[in-house]
């Protein structure tokens, strides 16, 4: 079994075959989503919020992404692995962007890297692609710009915003990106962008007409029932069953019911040796 490549994913776009992408952060979850047949796994800088408990993604470091990239890579056999470039790992210069992307591939075992921004990130994308590293773009709601955007808001609703978003999409494609994430943009606009591009689009809160979709594993499995944005569909609600299972464990430990005989080990009886002295 081999891992999917950028060419495989582009062929899926050409053949109108939808791309299923999931964000994961560790080897166990990577093994599970890979077994389930996802096409792409993203190690997102959302790890800062989902795993590290931060209020946004801005505090995530390149070392964080390298670490989690390595973890996820160990759990994959078929899905393509892309890893986010965190805040301030590519904005300073194209040269900085290339160095950071190189570390994500070399140390984090990424097959491709993802970075936010349209026209403003085109030079960085081109520099990375020129070095032979595939790039996924990301426009619309770009979480690393949350303060500029005024929060977690849908992008591209006005005519001017829609025109800029289309320009950003075309710039990302022209710079050499092989795919583009569209986050929280009107479905009609996402459909127009998808039709205008040769590269696949991956939507999150961007309607059904994108070339594929992405959700965070913890979200679609219902690990946190308090998190319920409009774009999220839960395919399971595991928070309560998980808490119940842990409560049952705690109760059995306190009652002395766990571990039972079937969970315990014992010494083998040593056969006594009799030594004759005559």
Higher pLDDT, 270 or 204: 204
Whether pLDDT at 212 is above 70: yes
pLDDT at 274: 55
Catalogue the E-assigned strands of the chain.
Answer: 19-23, 40-43, 80-84, 112-114, 135-140, 179-183, 201-204, 212-216
pLDDT at 61: 98
Report the mean per-residue pLDDT for the chain. 96
Q: What residues form DSSP beta bridges with 40?
A: 21, 80
Fill in the DSSP letter of residue 90: S
Point out the catalytic residue in the list 116, 183, 255, 262: 183
Instruction: Tell me if 96 sits within 8 A of 90, measured CB to CB.
Output: yes
pLDDT at 278: 55
pTM: 0.94
Question: pLDDT grade, residue 1 (50/70/90)?
Answer: confident
Q: How far apart are the first and last CA of the chain?
A: 69
Mean pLDDT of 230-258: 98
Annotation says 183 is catalytic: yes
Question: pLDDT grade, residue 99 (50/70/90)?
Answer: very high
Domains and CATH numbers, the chain: 6-220 (3.20.20.60)
Whether pLDDT at 273 is above 80: no
Question: pLDDT grade, residue 275 (50/70/90)?
Answer: low
Mean pLDDT of 1-24: 96
Mean pLDDT of 149-168: 96
Whether pLDDT at 261 is above 90: yes
pLDDT at 171: 98
């Amino acid at each position: 079994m081999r891992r999917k490549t950028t060419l495989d994913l582009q062929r899926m776009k050409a053949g109108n075959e939808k791309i299923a992408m999931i964000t994961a952060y560790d080897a166990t979850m990577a093994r599970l989503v890979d077994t389930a047949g996802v096409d792409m796994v993203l190690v997102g800088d959302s790890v800062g919020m989902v795993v590290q408990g931060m209020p946004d993604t801005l505090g995530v470091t390149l070392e964080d992404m390298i670490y989690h990239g390595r973890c996820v890579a160990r759990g994959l056999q078929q899905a393509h692995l892309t890893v986010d470039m965190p805040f301030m790992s590519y904005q300073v210069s194209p040269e900085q962007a290339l160095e950071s992307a190189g570390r994500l591939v070399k140390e984090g075992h990424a097959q491709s890297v993802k970075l936010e921004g349209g026209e403003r990130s085109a030079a960085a994308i081109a520099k990375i692609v020129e070095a032979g590293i595939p790039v996924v773009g990301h426009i619309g709601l770009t979480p690393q710009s949350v303060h500029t955007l005024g929060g977690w808001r849908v992008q591209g609703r006005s005519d001017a915003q829609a025109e800029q978003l289309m320009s950003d999409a075309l710039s990302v494609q022209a710079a050499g990106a092989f795919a583009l994430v569209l986050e929280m943009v009107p479905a009609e606009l996402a459909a127009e962008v998808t039709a205008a591009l040769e590269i696949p689009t991956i939507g999150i809160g961007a309607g059904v007409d994108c070339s594929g979709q992405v959700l965070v594993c913890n979200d679609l499995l219902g690990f946190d029932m308090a998190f319920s944005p409009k774009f999220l569909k839960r395919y399971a609600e595991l928070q309560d069953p998980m808490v119940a299972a842990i409560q049952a464990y705690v109760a059995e430990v306190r009652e002395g019911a766990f571990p039972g005989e079937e969970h315990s080990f014992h010494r083998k009886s040593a056969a006594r040796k009799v030594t004759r002295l005559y």
